[in-house]
Amino acid sequence: MPGWELIDKKERIALNNLVKKEGGVLFAHGFNNLRKKFHVREFENEISKKFKSKYSLAVTSGTAALKIALKSIGVKQGDEVITQAFNFIATIEAILDTGAKPVIVGVDDTLNMCPNDLKKKITKKTKVIIPVQMLGVPADLKNIIKISKAKKIKIISDNCESMGAKFDNKFINELVDIEIFSLDFAKTITCGEGGLILTNNPKIAKYCREYHDHGHENKIFPRGNDKASIVGFNYRMTEMQAVIGKVQLEKFNFIIKENKKRHIVLENNLKKLSTIRKIPKGGVSIFDTFIFEPKKNRSQIIKYLSKKGFGTKNLPDAIKWHCSYYWKHALSRKNLKNSLKTMEKLKKQIAIPIFIKKTVSDYELLAKGLRVYLK
């Protein structure tokens, strides 16, 4: 459920305060004599505290976060990076942007990376594995991490669609090398556009911080005399994004709690009449989306969801942006072939988005209507 539904007076007041009361500096660094606060830095500290990571870095988007994360591990031309077929194109774009080759793995019943297929796709060139925790649900991380450790391959967890998902009672950054979030307009919390990189590795954290800011070490202020030891880029978040991000973060627990109430209604009503998406043992979802496979009347159900104003989110409404089978412009024939079984599996699923503006009673009514098609 996207945080945009909850944007209200609080975000507006935070923006007004930034401009009217706090000096109006919109840049994350410097101008110390003009400003009262450093919102991007505060936002990063709050993220670290909330999701138990030693280091957090706010950047311009989830796609930028992926690219920076890959660069921090030293991914380059000639390397292979493994990710999954149920995904978003950003992962592939970030891999290609480093010069590396994407390798696609199919999904299991969690609709996330299949550990068995992962094992088959690892080669001597594999540098990183990117499991993508799609639509709120974590992958079978126990087995994925086991495989990565045995092969000494680093993991970047793409949690753009699953901020706050857990595995074995831990946030995912506590288990892997890097976890990334997106703060774009359709995500659990949003500041319009934005991304976050969470890690517990000081070397990775240092590289990411420098790379996202033209290589700046940020040791010398004013920054005119500051030094750089790497070539970077500009992926800096603005203070405007951060003030909104901070307010949205205050709403995070409420969002997850409300997600769960609505998700449970669908789960209880539909579980005996359809196959619902599997949550891996040890995994904790953020209940962002309810996904199920009806045994009959699929197209009537999709029409019904559209008529009732829910739609079907990624499955099937936006399947072409979320299944690598359709990305002929970016992937090799072999990767497209590797995506076929996932495409066939996804084509049987229906995703119901969880909205906060729709009440629990709205979901009860919806479930009642859906049961008629499923019985």
Ligand X SMILES: Cc1ncc(COP(=O)(O)O)c(C=O)c1O
Q: Of residues 66-95, which lie at the interface with ligand X (CB under 6 A)?
A: 88, 90-91
Q: How far is the CB of 361 from ligand X (least distance, A)?
A: 29
Assigned token pair, 61: 């988007």
| 214 dihedral zone (left: phi>0; alpha: psi -120 to 50; beta) | left
- Cα–Cα distance, 92 to 78 (Å, whole number): 15
- Cα–Cα distance, 115 to 112 (Å, whole number): 9
Could you tell me if 302 and 350 are in contact, meaning their C-beta atoms sit under 8 angstroms apart? Answer: yes
Q: Which is nearer to ligand X, 67 or 216 (CB)?
A: 67
Q: How far is the CB of 223 from ligand X (least distance, A)?
A: 26
Assess whether the previous peptide bond of 115 is cis (omega < 30° from 0).
no
Q: How far is the CB of 343 from ligand X (least distance, A)?
A: 17
Q: How far is the CB of 156 from ligand X (least distance, A)?
A: 11
Q: Which is nearer to ligand X, 184 or 239 (CB)?
A: 184
From 25-33, 60-68, 289-297, 365-373, span contacting ligand X (CB under 6 A): 60-68
Q: How far is the CB of 322 from ligand X (least distance, A)?
A: 8
Q: Which is nearer to ligand X, 184 or 258 (CB)?
A: 184
Q: Using CB under 6 A, pick the residue from 61, 110, 126, 285 that binds ligand X.
A: 61
Binding mask 131-170 for ligand X (x = CB under 6 A): -x-------------------------x-xx---------
Could you tell me if 242 and 191 are in contact, meaning their C-beta atoms sit under 8 angstroms apart? Answer: yes
- Cα–Cα distance, 240 to 258 (Å, whole number): 27
From 45-53, 59-67, 144-152, 248-256, span contacting ligand X (CB under 6 A): 59-67
Q: Using CB under 6 A, pick the residue from 63, 324, 335, 338 that binds ligand X.
A: 63
Q: Which is nearer to ligand X, 155 or 265 (CB)?
A: 155
Q: How far is the CB of 272 from ligand X (least distance, A)?
A: 31
Q: How far is the CB of 112 from ligand X (least distance, A)?
A: 11
Strand-pair partners of 123 = none
Q: Which is nearer to ligand X, 61 or 269 (CB)?
A: 61
Q: How far is the CB of 184 from ligand X (least distance, A)?
A: 4
Binding mask 190-209 for ligand X (x = CB under 6 A): -----x--------------
Residue matched to tokens 């995070």: 252
The residue at minimum Cβ distance from ligand X is 62
Q: Is 184 near ligand X (CB under 6 A)?
A: yes
Q: How far is CA 129 from the centre of its chain?
A: 15
- Cα–Cα distance, 162 to 133 (Å, whole number): 6
- Cα–Cα distance, 17 to 25 (Å, whole number): 11
Q: Is 363 near ligand X (CB under 6 A)?
A: no
Q: Is 353 near ligand X (CB under 6 A)?
A: no
Supply the DSSP string of 197-248, one letter for each residue: EEES-HHHHHHHHHHTBTTB---SSSGGG--BSS---B-BPPHHHHHHHHHH
Q: Which is nearer to ligand X, 56 or 61 (CB)?
A: 61
| 312 dihedral zone (left: phi>0; alpha: psi -120 to 50; beta) | alpha
- Cα–Cα distance, 8 to 265 (Å, whole number): 27
Q: Which is nearer to ligand X, 177 or 294 (CB)?
A: 177
Q: How far is the CB of 196 from ligand X (least distance, A)?
A: 10
b or e along 172-187 (b: 16 or more beta carbons within 10 Å of the residue's beta carbon)? bbbbbbbbbbbbbeeb
> Residue 13: how many CB atoms within 10 A of its CB?
12
Q: Using CB under 6 A, pick the residue from 72, 83, 112, 182 that binds ligand X.
A: 182
Q: Give the alpha-carbon dihedral of 5, 9, 12, 16, to 10 degrees.
A: -170
Q: How far is the CB of 158 from ligand X (least distance, A)?
A: 5
Assigned token pair, 180: 């990334």
Q: Which is nearer to ligand X, 90 or 286 (CB)?
A: 90
Residues that bind ligand X (rule: CB under 6 A) add up to a total of 13
- Cα–Cα distance, 254 to 250 (Å, whole number): 8
Interface with ligand X (CB under 6 A): 61-63, 88, 90-91, 132, 158, 160-161, 182, 184, 195
